[in-house]
Structure 1
Amino acid sequence: MVRRVSLVLGILILMVLINSVGIWANDYKLSVDDQLFISVWGHPDLQRQTVVGPDGKINFPLVGEIKAIGLTVKELTKVLDTRLRQYIKLQEAQVNVALEKYQRFRVTVLGEVNRPGTYQLQKGKRILDAISFAGGVNQLADLAHVKLTRNNKSLLIELESLLNGDNTLQNYKLEDGDVLYIPEDTIEVTVLGEVRKAGKYKLKRGVHLSDLIAQAGGLTDRASNKAKYISGKRTESLELAKIFNKKSNNPNLKNGDTVYIPKTKYDWQRFFFFVGGLNSLKDLLN
């Protein structure tokens, strides 16, 4: 009975040790200089603290060197258990490994990056390091309104100037549990009528009407030269030929804008087919 109570007490102490450092022991992968506390029930001579060495290994009595780097606490416990069974009799849950101090921490990068997710970084890493781990920002990123959240408090980061090297003071050191959020800088616009792929499009802020038409696959053969541009309560008639030839203003689109391109009044395709047919008949008669 006393032995069972002691075992339960030992497990509770180990749980407190894990929680006291706020560690996510289930998925944290061990790194160089991480400090571990290892105990084996019934063998107080095997209880000890150890540190993951520069070679990524720990040294433990009886079993010698074990590669710990890259393993979770659970995986290392299993390796120790297997190796120790060659020398002593063990029952289940008799090998306990607790992570007391760790050199890596977890940061989450969300939003408009190429590989959003949670990353383990070494202590001392900064905002730009985390974004690099996440594959960098994508073309839809709003670099002016990046948020760093720590302990439920958010700080606005001017990422564009940071990337350009103009404001390195904002390249803050990160801490365990930090969240970086890079919002999208996009607008949603609609193109209807004589384009090859009519519909709604999410585009980078700052695009022009000609960019939207290109995104929609270009004009059909029956597209009119006249287009209706609807922005808010304002409707404007535009000549596409002048826009494409840079002889007229190419509107900078805003969120919610709509472009409508009607059919031309003249079916030029049929006209040219008809003219071509007449020429062929004339050649045949001659």
Structure 2
Amino acid sequence: MKWMRDMARWLLATMLLVFGLGAHAAAGQNDYVLGAGDQIRIFVYQNQDLQLDARINESGTISYPLLGVVKLGGLTVSDAEKKLAAGLRDGNFLKQPQVSILVMDMKANLVSVLGQVNRPGRFALGAGAGGNKLSEILAQAGGILVNAGSDLVVVTGTRDGKPFRKEIDFPRVFMAGSGVEDIALANGDSVWVDRAPQIYIYGEVQRAGTMLLQRDMTVLQALASGGGLTLRGTQRGIRVHRRDAAGQVQVIQPDMNDKLQANDVIYVKESLF
């Protein structure tokens, strides 16, 4: 029977929206802000003739039966459903229209997350509070890889038609009074998480090799991470090889509480006595 087929279509559309089972569907799709290029499928309960597949054009509009040109760009999926339902109701076409929209292919309001994250890819910006914040998008990407990703996150894109680039010390976003903002991302932004900085230690230490440079790590802490000096090692024989801005390697005899920099090489000489 026709009413049973309509009911089945309505239930399918609802399941797709709730559980995100459509092509390119994502959790929280109702908060997705529609934009130019998005491909959508519109269902109206018990009105198969009003089902429509449409792509939102550059002006943010679609052409919909009975309503003509309707602007959906800039609206969340939920608000777009309400707008179409109101149009059908206010135009006396349907008494209580129930409209459901499924985003089949997201082309607008996307950001790219690349580098040392658990799930690199493209992610939709949400309309809800915090839905377009850097922390929210990194959470969608599964977060920064532990012991692999850098604290420094780079955001690039455009603002007011001009190139935009910002480096953010991400852990400081959550520190009270740090002044580091959890910035709002915009359509087309790219987020890059580089590899965590490293240092190198060799010579008379228990565990020579490469290690991650922790925040504010000192020479003493690096030596401790390397298991300390061997019986032949001497504190007076510690040298740090550091490349300067001109690319020249400088050899420094450090204090044990001096802070290290990325790519420093620590060498521990053998004691002569």
In which range does the TM-score fall when normalised by the shorter chain?
0.3 to 0.5
TM-score w.r.t. length of structure 2? 0.48
Pair member with larger Rg: 1
Return the structure number with greater helix share.
1
| TM-score, scaled to structure 1 | 0.46
* Bigger fraction of residues in strand: 2
